[in-house]
């Protein structure tokens, strides 16, 4: 049931419920709000109108004592849901966004970047807040952060209980603290870890089906590894194992005489020619970073759009039924004379159908390629669920070569959606909403989002 809370000035732990609810509850019950749980007297609201008609816009008012509100850390002004069963009364949902460690930056203005995610707030209501681990008082089980005030469309400072579910939005947090938060939420912290490109490669390699979509890759531990790859594949790409958005990339191609190098490690890429093997060695030796946290990979001959390479970004998310679905596909086309497709590096986005038509103008049937892409992405996500972590969102980067073969480039746990925002704003919003809907599905209030999902289908 949808409720609004009226806090009354009483010094005992008491909750007043309408007769229709109170008669199903024991006289003393636990009231739960997030991970707070308080033993409370249950009494009947004699003046309450007996009605089963209630909604987000027309909630039923219940009363709780000031002492109970303080113990639970209730934010009085919000619209909640209430689920009751014998000795337990749950008010919520209580969901948190885990931010990074720069708590001095997290203010109402900063949090506006998350406001568009709350466009579906009326589906579930409750307390949605953002916090940093620096704002956690572990001794008193209290979290300081900013909550979303739906009525004012503003973020406000507050003090809260530990949430029922955490949507991890930053990876600059120690694994020790993440483990504590996973324990506190009984495993309901999602996007629980991220991985390097090579860790992903080695895990996916274990799957017979998925291994067919992997680009030959090895850790770049010394010059010999790079030279051997050049000897076998003629053109290789060097990538940092733990960076994204095309940062740190270098391409080396064996020519009839010497080598051609395209260096994207700085803002402006450098193109240089090396006369022979000695010149290659001279280029590699001072660049020690190539042998520390880099991998070397066969360079693919990608399909082109108007002379520019492109790749496909597929957004996979878990829905209210906890099932992996594709919520968005865009093709990212590199700017002229660049191999970097990222929007932040000058690329632009196209719908998949438009991109495939431009890349393969003589081919009319795109359906098979799209089916292969969908199958690949779903099998990837189901395989990742076997890692023992809690994932609910991936941005998969898939390459299409000149022969229309698909190749899995990488997977981002916290993908960006810049291309979608400009290409299809409604789809962009749907992508932004889905993780919170999934978060609610992990709580006692799952029906409020699952029923809506069934209605849409």
Same domain, 35 and 143: no
Range of the domain at 16: 2-92
**Are the C-beta atoms of residues 419 and 354 closer than 8 Å to each other?**
no
Task: Please tell me what DSSP assigns to residue 151.
Answer: T
Same domain, 102 and 64: no
Same domain, 253 and 289: yes
Q: Considering only 88-97, 132-141, 241-250, which range has the smallest mean pLDDT? A: 241-250
Q: Does the pLDDT of residue 87 top 70, yes or no?
A: yes
Would you say residue 210 lies in a domain?
no
Residue 49: per-residue pLDDT: 55
**Are the C-beta atoms of residues 149 and 156 closer than 8 Å to each other?**
yes
- Helix spans in 267-322 (H): 277-284
Q: What is the pLDDT of residues 135-183, one digit of tens each?
A: 999 999 999 999 999 999 999 999 999 999 999 999 989 999 999 999 9
The Cα angle at residue 8 between residues 4 and 14, in degrees rounded to 5: 90
CA distance 125 to 448: 9
Would you say residue 329 lies in a domain?
yes
Taking CA atoms, 443 is separated from 7, 29, 187, 454, in Å, by: 24, 19, 12, 18
Same domain, 130 and 177: yes
Q: How many CA atoms lie within 13 A of 54 on its CB side?
A: 18
- Helix (H) and strand (E) counts for the chain? 14, 24
Would you say residue 180 lies in a domain?
yes
Strand partners, 393: 317
Would you say residue 202 lies in a domain?
no
Q: Considering only 209-223, 334-348, 373-387, which range has the smallest mean pLDDT? A: 334-348
Taking CA atoms, 40 is separated from 26, 309, 321, in Å, by: 10, 64, 33
Q: What is the pLDDT of residues 44-61, one digit of tens each?
A: 987 655 556 789 999 999
Would you say residue 206 lies in a domain?
no
Give the 3-state DSSP-derived string for 350-365, with helices as H, strands as E and coil as C. Answer: ECHHHHHHHHCCCCCC
CA distance 42 to 44: 7
CA distance 101 to 114: 17
Would you say residue 147 lies in a domain?
yes
**Are the C-beta atoms of residues 413 and 420 closer than 8 Å to each other?**
no
Q: Which two tokens stand for residue 208?
A: 């017979």
pLDDT above 70 covers a percentage of the chain that reads 94
Same domain, 370 and 408: yes
**Secondary structure (3-state) at 342:** coil
Q: Are strands 142-149 and 154-160 parallel, antiparallel or unpaired?
A: antiparallel
Q: Does the pLDDT of residue 81 top 90, yes or no?
A: yes
> The tokens 């506006």 sit on which residue?
112
Q: How many CA atoms lie within 13 A of 435 on its CB side?
A: 31
| Mean per-residue pLDDT over the chain, rounded | 90
Strand partners, 55: none
CA distance 321 to 323: 5
Reported confidence tier of residue 222, pLDDT bands at 50, 70, 90: confident
CA distance 68 to 16: 11
Taking CA atoms, 316 is separated from 163, 167, 356, in Å, by: 25, 16, 20
Q: Identify the domain boundary among 43, 60, 92.
A: 92
Q: Which two tokens stand for residue 170?
A: 């930053």
Task: Check the CA dihedral 433-434-440-445 and report its sign.
Answer: positive
Nearest to 94 by CA among 55, 40, 141, 52: 141
Would you say residue 39 lies in a domain?
yes
Same domain, 309 and 445: yes
Same domain, 151 and 243: no
Same domain, 325 and 422: yes
The Cα angle at residue 103 between residues 188 and 75, in degrees rounded to 5: 60
Q: Identify the domain boundary among 92, 126, 149.
A: 92
Would you say residue 386 lies in a domain?
yes
Same domain, 315 and 438: yes
Same domain, 323 and 334: yes
Q: What is the pLDDT of residues 366-403, one digit of tens each?
A: 888 999 999 999 999 999 999 999 999 999 999 999 99
Q: Identify the domain boundary among 46, 61, 92.
A: 92
- Domain containing residue 74: CATH number: 2.40.40
Say how many domains are in the chain: 4
Same domain, 433 and 327: yes
Task: Please tell me what DSSP assigns to residue 117.
Answer: G
- Domain containing residue 389: CATH number: 3.30.470.20
CA distance 110 to 294: 34
Same domain, 326 and 276: no
Strand partners, 401: 302
Q: Are strands 250-254 and 79-92 parallel, antiparallel or unpaired?
A: unpaired
Q: Which two tokens stand for residue 435?
A: 């993780």
């Amino acid at each position: 049931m949808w409720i609004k809370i009226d806090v009354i000035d009483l010094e005992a732990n008491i909750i007043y419920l309408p007769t229709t609810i109170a008669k199903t509850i024991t006289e003393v019950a636990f009231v739960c709000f997030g991970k707070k749980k308080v033993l409370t007297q249950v009494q009947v609201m004699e003046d309450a109108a007996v009605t089963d008609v209630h909604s987000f816009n027309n909630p039923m008012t219940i009363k709780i004592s000031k002492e109970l509100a303080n113990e639970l850390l209730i934010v009085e002004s919000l619209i909640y849901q209430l689920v009751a069963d014998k000795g337990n009364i749950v008010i919520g949902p209580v969901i948190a966004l885990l931010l990074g460690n720069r708590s001095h930056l997290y203010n109402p203005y900063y949090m506006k970047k998350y406001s568009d995610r709350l466009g579906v707030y009326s589906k579930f209501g409750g307390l949605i807040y953002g916090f940093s681990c620096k704002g956690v008082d572990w001794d008193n089980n209290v979290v300081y952060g900013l909550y979303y005030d739906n009525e004012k469309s503003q973020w406000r400072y507050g003090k809260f209980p530990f949430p029922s579910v955490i949507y991890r939005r930053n990876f600059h947090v120690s694994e020790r603290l993440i483990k504590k938060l996973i324990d506190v939420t009984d495993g309901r912290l999602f996007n629980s870890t991220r991985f390097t490109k090579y860790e992903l490669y080695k895990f996916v390699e274990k799957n017979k089906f998925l291994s067919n979509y992997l680009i030959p890759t090895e850790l770049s531990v010394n010059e010999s590894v790079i030279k051997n790859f050049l000897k076998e594949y003629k053109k290789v790409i060097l990538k940092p194992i733990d960076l994204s958005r095309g940062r740190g990339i270098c391409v080396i191609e064996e020519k009839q005489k010497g080598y051609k190098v395209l260096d994207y490690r700085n803002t402006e890429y450098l193109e240089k020619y090396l006369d022979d093997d000695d010149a290659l060695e001279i280029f590699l030796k001072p660049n020690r970073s190539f042998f520390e946290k880099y991998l070397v990979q066969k360079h693919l001959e990608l399909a082109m759009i108007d002379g520019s390479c492109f790749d496909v970004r597929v957004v996979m998310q878990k829905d209210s039924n906890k099932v992996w679905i594709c919520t968005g596909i865009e093709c990212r086309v590199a700017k002229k004379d660049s191999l970097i497709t990222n929007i932040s590096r000058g690329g632009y986005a196209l719908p998949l159908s438009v991109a495939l038509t431009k890349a393969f103008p003589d081919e009319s049937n795109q359906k098979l390629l799209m089916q292969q892409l969908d199958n690949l992405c779903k099998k990837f996500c189901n395989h990742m669920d076997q890692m023992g972590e809690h994932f609910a969102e991936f941005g998969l980067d898939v390459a299409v070569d000149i022969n229309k073969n698909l190749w899995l480039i990488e997977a981002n746990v916290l993908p960006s959606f810049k291309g979608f925002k400009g290409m299809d704003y409604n789809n962009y919003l749907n992508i932004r909403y889905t993780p919170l809907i999934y978060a609610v599905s992990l709580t006692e209030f799952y029906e409020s989002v699952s029923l809506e999902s069934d209605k849409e289908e």
